[in-house]
């Protein structure tokens, strides 16, 4: 009897297009492998669709807010059907850049210094705080977006212009800019899958560099690191994965500067598109796209 998989993709976040692409790619592979597949949106009818379709597993292909922040996971817990990727609490912690940073710091994982900015602070107060604790340039970003949505590198001249672009958020994160190499490491279950280095032609590995084929970002694999530093990188990614109690696949984003790794964030639902990094890392290590998807399905659970 063929296994039924319900794929949830789309959603209302700023990463909707990537989510739809992930859903289509995963569905295509599963159908070729003989699965019965249905794709749906996270609508008000979702629970009824799940009860009617009766899938053996739900593949969560959502990205961004409401998809990987614990919100949809809470709904899926109520129907008691195994779903992919991390559970409610792990998803919420990983998506909240402040919470996850605090966990990294408490557990001796280096991460860029930061301040939390709310829009009631004066310009003078902010500039003083940055000069005292961070220094320019700085990176500004929302606390709970993914795929480098609304992330900007700012200097003293343009910071308020860029901050104004984020005024729809109640609070934003301002962190020190770490130059150096962009390296990302993937964990699959309890296995240290591997790493990849990105060399974007843009200022940094932003949304366009990630998803626009014309951005011409170089993907370097294997990563040019000594065995000792490579082990350190993968150990840090695995430590973060375990600290937040993630399951399935995660991808941790690092900067490597002055022989030191800085963990920027951990992604609990990495993309599964043609330009996505985890499938590329998996392929380099002999794991086909369909086998990667099968592992993710096998690792699905209803455990929060």
What are the structural domains, with CATH classification, of the chain?
A: 4-85 (3.40.50.20), 104-109+179-298 (3.30.470.20), 114-176 (3.30.1490.20)
Report whether 61 contacts 272 (CB < 8 A).
Answer: yes
Q: What is the mean pLDDT of residues 78-86?
A: 92
Of these residues, 10, 83, 86, 251, which one is catalytic? 251
Q: Do strands 114-118 and 171-176 pair parallel, antiparallel, or not at all (unpaired)?
A: antiparallel
Confidence (pLDDT) at 214: 53
Active-site hit among 69, 182, 253, 262: 253
Q: Which of 9, 11, 13, 15 is catalytic?
A: 15
Q: Is 211 tagged catalytic? A: yes
Greatest Cα pair distance, the chain, in angstroms, is 66
Q: Locate tokens 């053996």: which residue?
A: 56
Q: Which positions ≥6 away from 67 have C-beta within 8 Å? A: 8, 11, 13, 15, 19, 42, 60, 269
Has residue 207 got a pLDDT over 50? no
259 is known as an active-site residue:
no
Residue pair 179/262 in contact (Cβ under 8 Å)? The answer is no
Tell me the C-alpha distance between 279 and 229, whole Å.
Answer: 23
Our answer to whether residue 15 is catalytic in this structure is yes
- How many whole angstroms separate alpha carbon 234 and alpha carbon 55? 35
Outline where 159-271 has alpha helix (H): 159-164, 207-211, 227-243
Amino acid 264: pLDDT: 94
Pick the residue with more confidence: 118 or 267? Answer: 267
Report the chain's mean pLDDT, rounded to a whole number. Answer: 88
Environment class of 258 (CB within 10 Å of its CB; exposed 0-12, middle 13-18, buried 19+):
exposed
147, 148, 150, 252: which one is catalytic? 147
The tokens for 254 are 């690092």
pTM of structure: 0.88
Phi, psi of 153 (to 5 degrees): -95, 125
What is the band of 205 on the pLDDT scale with cuts at 50, 70, 90?
A: very low
Mean pLDDT, rounded, for 72-95: 93
114, 211, 230, 262: the catalytic one is 211
Q: What is the mean pLDDT of residues 45-73?
A: 92
Among residues 21, 69, 182, 265, the one annotated as catalytic is 265
Give 115-171 pLDDT, tens digit per residue: 888 777 677 777 888 888 888 899 998 887 655 667 889 888 888 888 888 888 878
Q: What is the mean pLDDT of residues 281-290?
A: 95
Residue 204 pLDDT: 52
Instruction: Kindly report the backbone phi and psi dihedral angles of residue 246, in degrees, each rounded to the nearest multiple of 5, phi listed first.
Output: -75, 160
- CA 186 to CA 169: how far, in whole Å? 30
Residue 303 has pLDDT above 80, yes or no: no
Catalytic (active site) residue 253: yes
* Residue 265: active-site member: yes
Question: Does 267 qualify as catalytic in the annotation?
Answer: yes
Output 277 or 171, whichever has higher pLDDT: 277
Asked if the model's pLDDT at residue 20 lies above 50, the reply is yes
């Amino acid at each position: 009897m063929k296994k039924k998989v319900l794929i949830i993709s789309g959603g209302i976040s700023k990463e909707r297009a990537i989510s739809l692409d992930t859903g289509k790619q995963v569905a295509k592979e599963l159908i070729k492998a003989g699965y019965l597949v249905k794709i749906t949106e996270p609508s008000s009818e979702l629970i009824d669709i799940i009860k009617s379709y009766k899938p053996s597993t739900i593949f969560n292909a959502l990205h961004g807010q409401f998809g990987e922040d614990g919100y949809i996971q809470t709904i899926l817990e109520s129907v008691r059907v195994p779903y992919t990727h991390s559970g409610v609490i792990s998803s919420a912690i990983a998506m909240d850049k402040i919470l996850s940073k605090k966990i990294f710091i408490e557990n001796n994982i280096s991460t860029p210094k930061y301040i939390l900015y709310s829009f009631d602070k004066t310009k003078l107060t902010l500039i003083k705080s940055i000069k005292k604790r961070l220094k320019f340039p700085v990176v500004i970003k929302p606390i709970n977006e993914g795929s480098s949505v609304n992330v900007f590198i700012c200097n003293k001249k343009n910071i308020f212009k860029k901050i104004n672009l984020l005024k729809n958020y109640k609070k934003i994160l301002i962190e020190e800019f770490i130059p150096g190499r962009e390296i990302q490491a993937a964990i699959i279950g309890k296995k240290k899958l591997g790493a990849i280095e990105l060399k974007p032609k843009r200022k940094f590995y932003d949304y366009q560099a990630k998803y626009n084929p014309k951005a011409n970002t170089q993907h370097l694999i294997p990563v040019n690191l000594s065995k000792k530093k490579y082990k350190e990188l993968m150990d840090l990614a695995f430590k973060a994965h375990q600290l937040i109690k993630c399951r399935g696949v995660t991808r941790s984003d690092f900067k490597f500067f002055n022989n030191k790794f800085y963990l920027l964030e951990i992604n609990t639902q990495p993309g599964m598109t043609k330009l996505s990094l985890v499938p590329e890392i998996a392929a380099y290590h002999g794991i086909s796209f369909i086998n990667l998807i099968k592992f993710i399905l096998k690792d699905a659970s209803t455990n929060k």
